[in-house]
Structure 1
Amino acid sequence: MSKKTLSGKRIAFLATDGFEQVELTQPWQAIKEAGAEVVLVSPKKGEIQGMNHDEKADTFKVDKAVDSVSAEDFDGLVLPGGVANPDTLRMCEDSVSFVRDFFKQHKPVAAICHGPWTLIEADVVRGRRVTSWPSLKTDLKNAGADWVDEECVCDEGLVTSRNPDDLPAFCDKAIEEFAEGKHAEQTA
């Protein structure tokens, strides 16, 4: 785990029902232990349902509704995977705008597994080197991304990984990018 401190940083986790639980909880814990304030943002109020693959896991209390926050309120963004989660998020204009605004403000974003589906909808992967769950390969290429099959890829503040097995590398790189802060080349 990276030893860089995130003290004074505020990191948003954008998720809704159907997120892969470990892809939220492991980065959440690592980023919190690095000193950041972590905030669960969702288009849904109340609680959201985590998943362990195709089985229901725990529910999590939403801290802020996506329509009540701005990327300006945060220093970085994490997009957990799970199939239903990003599929729902990409159909929510407030969520898509929230994601796009991190890129407009040159702030680091970390997306794992199916999380990049939301990046495609936000139109922020064109010309970017990324990875994801293998079934997103064609979608990402069609959106203009350079898709590679690697554990963790970082392209100017955009951190992506393939699956829960990649979480240690994903968490370390996300913490490093959040500590570094804004990237001039991180644009929408």
Structure 2
Amino acid sequence: MSNSLQGKRVAFLVTDGFEQVELTGPKQALEQAGARTEILSAKAGQVKGWNHDEPADDFPVDRTFAQAKDEHYDAVVLPGGVMNSDTIRLDADAQHIVRLVNGQNRPIAVICHGGWLLISAELVKGKTLTSYKTLKDDLANAGAHWVDKPVVVDGNLISSRQPDDIEAFNTAIIEALSA
């Protein structure tokens, strides 16, 4: 286990219905690299992951968005999942967190449908991103340039398409935090 990210703090922003592997894969990789991770959600208690269209496991919430909105994080990860992404994009505190991290030019890593939060927070205009293919028009309409690649890094934004890309996604996040 490497400690290259020792002292780094990474927030995972999710609501019920997130794609479970898009949280567990990056979370495990970041922790193995020495980072401290926290799960943030709209409400305290537990948050439920999904495996595609089936309910999966519950995860403890470390802080609510409201509790964490002015915390310092070295990076934010936005797992996808249609239900999660459609709900979280409307949360003013979640939008505040990604705007704050973006304003500090810290990494924001987004996979699959997670890009909806960045669209609602107005952070994609002029950026090159990838996502699950069904978000192509949403990103383009918000002023982003969409490409079909496993991982795309544009400044502090890191994006990936889907669970098959998690290994490349993890590598890009760790590289960005190591810089």
Which residue of structure 2 aligns with residue 186 of structure 1?
none
Alignment of 1:104-143 (within 5 A): 104-143=103-142
Determine the structure 2 residue equivalent to 1:6.
Answer: 5
Deviations 1:44-73 (A, max 9, x none): 210011000000000000000110113542
Residue 111 and residue 4 in structure 1: after superposition, are their counterparts in 2 closer, same or farther (change >3 A)? Answer: farther
Map residues 1-188 of structure 1 onto 2, 5 A cutoff: 5-70=4-69, 72-180=71-179
Q: Which amino acid aligns with 2:93?
A: D
Shift of 1:4: 7.7
Aligned-residue sequence identity (percent) comes to 50
Amino acid at match of 1:24: L
- Structure 2: segments with no counterpart, 5+ residues: none
Does the Cα contact within 8 Å between 1:4 and 1:175 map onto a contact in 2? no
- What's the Cα RMSD here? 1.1
Residues in 2 aligned to 1:83 and 1:93: alpha-carbon distance in whole angstroms: 18
Q: Which whole-Å CA distance do the structure 1 matches of 2:90 and 2:30 have between them?
A: 28
Gaps of 5+ in 1: 181-188
CA distance in 2, matches of 1:90, 1:115: 9
CA distance in 2 between partners of 1:116 and 1:44 (Å): 21
**How far apart in 2 are the matches of 1:153 and 1:73?**
25
Q: Is the 8 A contact 2:26 2:166 kept in 1?
A: yes
Q: 135-144 or 99-108, which moves further after superposition?
A: 99-108
TM-score (normalised: structure 2): 0.97
- TM-score where L is the length of structure 1: 0.92
Q: Relative CO higher for 1 or 2, CA cutoff 8 Å, sep ≥ 6? A: 1
- Aligned residue pairs total 178
Alpha-carbon distance in structure 2 between the residues aligned to 1:178 and 1:11: 10
For 2:57 and 2:42, locate their aligned partners in 1 and report how far apart those are by CA, in whole Å. Answer: 18
